[in-house]
Amino acid sequence: MPILTSGRRPMAGNLDIRISSIDDGRAALVELNGVLDAATSPRFEEALDRVRAQGCQRVVVDFVGVRYVNSTGLGMLVKQADTFRTTGGGGMALIRVPGKVQIIMEMSGLSQLLAVCEGVPDALAALSGSPGGPRPAEASPADSDPALTSTGRWRSAAARLAAEDPELALRRCRHALERVLPALYRKTVGDPSGRDVSALLAGLGERRVMPRKAAALAYTTWELSQPGTAPIYAAEDSVRREAYIAVAAMTVLQAWFKQQHPDCWA
């Protein structure tokens, strides 16, 4: 399989692409270095189309050198992953995806559509594990519940489930996080009052529904989300990432606590 490379140091809007044959010619490794955006996505897509035209239906995309991905690049990846899955029983897996890109994928819900592996051996194992290669995770109970996946009705659904079965409600809310993170983030950082945040943290910590550590991390995230601070999704360290998820979880559970513990909101 030919090697494709620009030979240039990637600058803004540039993307170096290197393609090689792996797994005794049964798969292709595509190594990226640079930026995957509206300017570079067409060239990357053409490279993947050529890989498929040469008869290779299984591809591993190495993201270790990717500094930035926008919505155009992510949309193209989803399209190509679907094409590889549905054409000749192939598949596509991503490896060594940087923390920033992973967070963006989780925020947008694309982590459910793109297979992400640790390295080449894991990716090849996933691609060989079943016809059609790696597939998105199976739908959770929350995925099939319109009231939980609709941003307009998730609050009432959480409160209803909390009254019927608190443990089930918590599990479903956690599953729903993956589908509504962007909306939850907007709600959380839109115009939160210090009183509301403090009350919610009191409910989370004192009622032992969420560990105190997660509540503290959530408060840190809330502070970081205030005007003049860096967006939380730009943080690569695991603590801030955990905090971001915790604050989203708090938003999902807000209706639950208002119903179950009105004293916290007095």
State which residues form the domain around 157: 146-265
Reported as a single tens digit per residue, the pLDDT across 103-159 is 666 655 566 677 889 899 999 998 886 444 454 444 333 333 333 333 333 334 444
User: Under a CB-based contact definition with an 8 Å cutoff, are residues 90 and 133 in contact?
Assistant: yes
Reported as a single tens digit per residue, the pLDDT across 64-91 is 899 888 767 877 888 888 888 887 678 9
In our burial notation (b when 16+ CB lie closer than 10 A, e otherwise), range 197-229 reads bebbbbbbbeeebbeeebbebbbbbbebbeeee
CA-closest candidate to residue 244, choices 258, 232, 261: 232
| Same domain for 228 and 179 | yes
| Same domain for 152 and 253 | yes
Cα dist from 56 to 28, 43, 172, 187, whole Å: 7, 18, 39, 44
| Same domain for 200 and 160 | yes
| Same domain for 151 and 116 | no
Q: Which residue has the higher pLDDT, 232 or 69?
A: 69
pLDDT band at 38 (very low <50, low <70, confident <90, very high): confident
In a domain, 140, yes or no: no
| Same domain for 250 and 206 | yes
Give me the mean pLDDT over the 61-66 stretch.
92
Mean pLDDT of all residues in the chain?
62
User: Phi and psi at residue 55, in whole multiples of 5°?
Assistant: 95, 5
In a domain, 137, yes or no: no
Q: Is the pLDDT of residue 220 over 70?
A: no
Query: What is the C-alpha separation between 253 and 266, in angstroms, rounded?
Result: 17
Give me the mean pLDDT over the 231-243 stretch.
44
Q: How far apart are the first and last CA of the chain?
A: 68
| Same domain for 261 and 150 | yes
In a domain, 134, yes or no: no
CA 22 to chain centroid: 27
In a domain, 5, yes or no: no
| Same domain for 258 and 153 | yes
| Same domain for 152 and 77 | no
In a domain, 19, yes or no: yes
Q: Where are the beta strands (DSSP E) in 72-227?
A: 91-95, 115-117
Query: What is the C-alpha separation between 68 and 187, in angstroms, rounded?
Result: 26
In a domain, 116, yes or no: yes
| Same domain for 250 and 170 | yes
CATH number of residue 43's parent domain: 3.30.750.24
The residue from 73, 96, 129 where one domain ends is 129
The residue from 72, 104, 129 where one domain ends is 129
The answer to whether the pTM exceeds 0.75 is no
| Same domain for 161 and 214 | yes
Report the domain count for the chain.
Answer: 2
Helix 238-260, helix 99-108: angle, nearest 10: 30
| Same domain for 123 and 24 | yes
Which of 21-35, 134-148, 199-213 is predicted most confidently? Answer: 21-35
